Chain A
Amino acid sequence: MRRVIDDAEAIARARGGDLDAYGVLVARYTLRAHRAAFLLGAGEESDDVVQEAFVKAFRHLSRFRVGESFGPWLLRIVANEAKNVTRSRRRRAALVLRLPSVESSGAAAGGPADEVLAAERRARLVAAVNALPDRERQVLVCRYFLDLSEAETARVLAWPLGSVKSRTSRALNRLRGLLVPGEQNRVSSG
């Protein structure tokens, strides 16, 4: 016997006070919510942000519109909570790149020079994102790190769609500007 409970049913039941059904949603969206909290700058407090967001989301379920998708709705609450913690400690946690899972000391190597260049460029890109003004960093995190559409980003950040578009293009331009100087001789290979 297999019992499928989709988001809509879980939400409907959770609205009626069914905490088991809400538990399904919590389990289903924890990873996404946590990733969003972390990337939006909550850092070590991401777990707290996620917990707070789930508690608030449950209390506000009556405002959830049937037919809407739960992810962006929840992420809006997450983004808000993340903003609260970063504001209270006056800084966002910087994003850092994962160390490569395979060290260069491993077995046979393939194109290590290219890889080093790509890794270097990637590290500079992330450093540049870290250095962006709040809103521009937020919009890039939503669009490219969380893979949200423009409309979803507008929903999550509670901005008009036009602001999402303009801030995205401003942020991308700024990144291009930061990456280009001294880059010509490096980029030629890739």
Chain B
Amino acid sequence: MVESELRAAGHAIEVPPPSDPTAAVRRRLEGQAARRRHGPAWWAGILRRPVWRAVLVVVVAFLAVLVATPQGRAVIVHVFRLAGVELRQGPGPAHSRGNAALPGERQMSLEQARHQVSFPILVPAALGRPGEVVVSDRGRVVSLFWRRTPYGLVRMDEFAGHLDHVYFEKFVHWSNVTKVAVNGTRGMWIKGPQELVYITRSGVPAMASARLTTGNTLIWGTRQVALRLEGNLGKTPALAIARSAH
């Protein structure tokens, strides 16, 4: 069917991420509105100063806690999608402290987990066997945990993100994101804790899963599985761990 092929092709067309028009639109509208109580876009000038930009992100994130709604997720500045993870610059959802969980988490052995999920579970040789294996959302995600590594707790989530569905949304500051290569495939290195939320099969964010990540994150994919590695480790060891996953 040409129709369904067209739909599929539409998803595969390269569309660059938009730049955020909010400030420019507001500036232009304010410039023309009769009412100029606040002066011309006072915050647009602030945005140009890097120090303030950081502060602004924090303030916006705080406001987001007050106004966050499912639709509020649409307060997006940039979107980048890779291996089932959608990166957005902008305020993340309100996140719980400490007890965030993916839907339907079940702890089991690595062997049991291999029977529960439809994708191959990769284990990085650099870390050895995981201390804990958790399968979530009826086999949609598997999370491996290593508690005693030189970097403290390290977590690796694996999911069928190569199918181009969004599994996680991450709210990041764009300057913290670097493109990297892992075994010849594209990856993203994200510095610093970020807000992360799991997206269910029906495309709805699982609010109970929203949390602040620990340390840094590496996201990459292979032909059959998408992976995110999270922990208090630097880029070099993270890449070494990723390369050793098979």
Contacts and interface: CB of A to CB of B under 8 A. Distances in A.
Interface string B55-86: 00000000000111101101110010011000
A96 B13 contact: yes
Max chain A CB contacts within 10 Å: which of B2, B82, B162? B2
Nearest to B79: A31
Interface string A1-43: 1111110000000000101001110111111011100110000
B29 A101 contact: no
Given A103-B184, A107-B222, A126-B9, A97 B25 contact: no
Interface size bucket, B side?
35 or more
B12 A98 contact: yes
A145 B18 contact: no
Interface string B1-31: 0110111111011111011111011101110
Max chain A CB contacts within 10 Å: which of B5, B18, B94? B18
B179 to A, nearest CB: 12
B35 interface: yes
Contacts of B20: 27, 30
A101 B221 contact: yes
A17 B35 contact: yes
Contacts of B5: 121-122, 125
Given A2-B68, A122-B9, A47 B18 contact: yes
Given A3-B67, A27-B76, A47-B19, A175 B2 contact: yes
A38 B25 contact: no
A54 B21 contact: yes
Contacts of A189: none
Contact of A107 (B19, B33, B82, B224): B224
B2 to A, nearest CB: 5
Contacts of A1: 66
Interface string A65-96: 00000000000000000000000000000011
A31 B224 CA distance: 28
Nearest to A176: B2
A4 B69 contact: yes
Nearest to B120: A108
A98 B19 CA distance: 19
Contacts of A107: 122, 183, 222-224, 246
B22 A108 contact: no
Contacts of B26: 19, 22-23, 26
B202 interface: no
A38 B74 contact: no
B12 A110 contact: no
A28 B75 contact: yes
A101 B227 CA distance: 13
A35 B15 contact: yes
Interface of B: 2-3, 5-10, 12-16, 18-22, 24-26, 28-30, 33, 35, 66-69, 71-72, 74-76, 79, 82-83, 94, 120, 122, 162, 183-186, 221-224, 246
21 contacts: A1-B66, A2-B94, A3-B69, A23-B26, A26-B25, A31-B76, A34-B15, A46-B18, A47-B19, A50-B21, A95-B14, A103-B185, A106-B222, A107-B223, A125-B2, A129-B6, A144-B3, A145-B6, A145-B10, A146-B10, A179-B2
